[in-house]
Amino acid sequence: MSSLKIYNMLARQKQPFCPIEPGKARLYVCGMTIYDYCHIGHARMMMAFDVVYRWLRTSGYAVTYVRNITDIDDKIIRRAAENGESIGELTKRFTRYMHEDTTALGILPPTHEPRATQYIPQMLEMIETLEGKGLAYVATDGDVNFAVRNFPGYGKLSGKSLDDLRAGERVDVNPGKRDPLDFVLWKRSGEAEPVAAKWDSRWGSGRPGWHIECSAMACALLGEHFDIHGGGADLQFPHHENEIAQSEGAFGHVHVNYWMHNGFVRVDDEKMSKSLGNFFTIREVLARYDAEVLRFFIMRAHYRSPLNYSDAHLDDARQALTRLYTALNNILPDTLPLDWEEPHAIRFAQAMDDDFNTPLALSVLFELATEVNRNQAAHSARQLVKLGAILGLLERAPQAFLQGGAIVALAAQTEEANTVMATGFVVDDLATQVQAAIVARSEAKQAKNFAEADRIRAELEAIGVILEDRPGGVTQWRKA
């Protein structure tokens, strides 16, 4: 297969990837709680594991990828009530929005996308097993809690002892718990809660706690023991720590071999937060930037590193991606398969095998672009296109990006997409009008009216459109 190494958060070091079953890889990633639009932090997480999924497949593994949807939660119940809609209507709508966002970003759909409400029986079965082993108990308030101190390995993912965790406890003490660190497996229903948020159980009407959802879904779809579990860094504790306790407590053996976590998103070097007013949904960003630019921007940082979001960084990413597409603009790649023995491909694979090092892999693409510019060779262009496609990049015709990106960027500069610019150009009809201007400029040049030709070029440059004259009298255009 490959020489892939993964940074395992459980071991706190890079380790060779040795799948449980040769030739197969099983991956579970904690997905969205569906009650609002996905934000840039969600995009970063989904992109990180989209890259993992793509590279595992490229490396020859048959991958089963599970990314769940949490469709029952306190926030979901409150939001549905605020909106005057049912829980099902709310979660169906925002699941559709999430799929629209992931499709726009080129994020591949997982093999399975289970919804928590579809796996209530499996959750109840696991809770009963835990109770039978003395790891769960019914609290005085009717909730069923996990007894953290009865599980000897608790804290091994976060690297903290129970006393350290207790000292850092900030939540209000629940008198129904035996220990403040104990967490809810089954939450007793409140009388005012909607019927759609209630399920019958041996402990009475209620709904699952958040942590038990992933343990049950992962076990049902990937088995009691699987290869990789991923999610955002904020899930390492307590969510993933609790998953380990539940699953290993119930099964009596190791649950997951490799734990992966992507870094946080910061905005202008500050933590992204609604309270700070620096919170951006994917849709807000895609209204101003091409989706491939956002994808490229996210992959410029290693998945474990913090990602600093800013307009300046996105503008720089757009210019960098433009350089790659410009290199391919006049070279038609040949149709041969990717040559993995070619030096650039070897370095690309080495970068990806080193814990999915996308910044280094992208640097190889720029080396190839330089070579394409120098030798104008179809085989070099093919290598660039095919290596880029592994990362979900460079899959459009160069002109489609170079001109399509111009329309997105120019629309972002106006309050409405049909605003007439000072030059007389209408943004939503940009391509047609630029072509008309190119024809008018060509006619002016043929009539030796060079002043008029220069005026047309300058007018286009004023709205960020650059003309490039090519051999044979062909003129192409792109975003500045």
Average pLDDT estimate for 274-298: 90
Preceding omega of 238 cis (within 30 degrees of 0): yes
- Distance (Å, rounded) from C-alpha 193 to C-alpha 196? 8
Confidence of residue 290 (pLDDT cuts 50, 70, 90): very high
pLDDT of residue 473: 66
> Residue 406 above 60 pLDDT?
no
Contact 176, 203 (CB under 8 A): no
Helix (H), strand (E), coil (C) string for 140-205: CCCCEEECHHHCCCCCCCCCCCHHHHHHCCCCCCCCCCCCCCCEEEEEECCCCCCHHHCECCCCCC
Q: Which of 36-45, 265-274, 471-480 has the highest mean pLDDT?
A: 36-45
378 phi-psi bin (left φ>0, alpha ψ -120 to 50, beta other): alpha
Cβ neighbors of 362 (< 8 A, separation 6 or more) are 296, 299, 300, 391
Mean pLDDT for the chain? Answer: 89
Average pLDDT estimate for 304-328: 95
Question: What share of the chain has pLDDT > 70, as a percent?
Answer: 90
Helix (H, G, I), strand (E, B) or coil at 32: strand
- Distance (Å, rounded) from C-alpha 90 to C-alpha 34? 8
- Distance (Å, rounded) from C-alpha 416 to C-alpha 425? 13
pLDDT of residue 414: 45
CA 333 to chain centre: 29
Helix (H), strand (E), coil (C) string for 229-285: EEEEHHHHHHHHHHHHHHHHHHHCCCCEEEEEEECCEEECCEECCCCCCCCCEHHHH
Contact 417, 429 (CB under 8 A): no
Strand partners, 148: none
- Which carries the bigger pLDDT value, residue 330 or residue 371? 371
> Which residue type occupies 430?
L
Q: Classify strands 144-146 and 183-188 as parallel, antiparallel or unpaired.
A: antiparallel
pLDDT of residue 166: 67
Ranges 294-303, 312-321, 449-458: which has the least confidence: 449-458
> Residue 221 above 90 pLDDT?
yes
- Which carries the bigger pLDDT value, residue 412 or residue 97? 97
Confidence of residue 423 (pLDDT cuts 50, 70, 90): very low
pLDDT digit string (tens) for 176-185? 789 989 999 9
Average pLDDT estimate for 98-118: 97
Average pLDDT estimate for 25-41: 96
- Distance (Å, rounded) from C-alpha 248 to C-alpha 256? 9
Return the structure tokens found at 80.
């549905």
Ranges 58-67, 218-227, 233-242, 422-431: which has the least confidence: 422-431
Cβ count near 446 (within 10 Å)? 10
CA 72 to chain centre: 22
pLDDT digit string (tens) for 440-477? 887 777 787 867 777 888 777 777 687 777 666 667 77
CATH architecture of the domain formed by 5-262? 3-Layer(aba) Sandwich (3.40)
Confidence of residue 431 (pLDDT cuts 50, 70, 90): low
Average pLDDT estimate for 359-381: 97
pTM of the model: 0.85
> Residue 68 above 60 pLDDT?
yes
> Residue 155 above 90 pLDDT?
yes
Same fold, 5-262 and 266-395: no
Domain edges within the chain: 5-262, 266-395, 400-479
- Distance (Å, rounded) from C-alpha 325 to C-alpha 395? 10
Fold of domain 266-395: Four Helix Bundle (Hemerythrin (Met), subunit A) (1.20.120)
CA 365 to chain centre: 21
- Distance (Å, rounded) from C-alpha 50 to C-alpha 309? 19
- Which carries the bigger pLDDT value, residue 433 or residue 339? 339
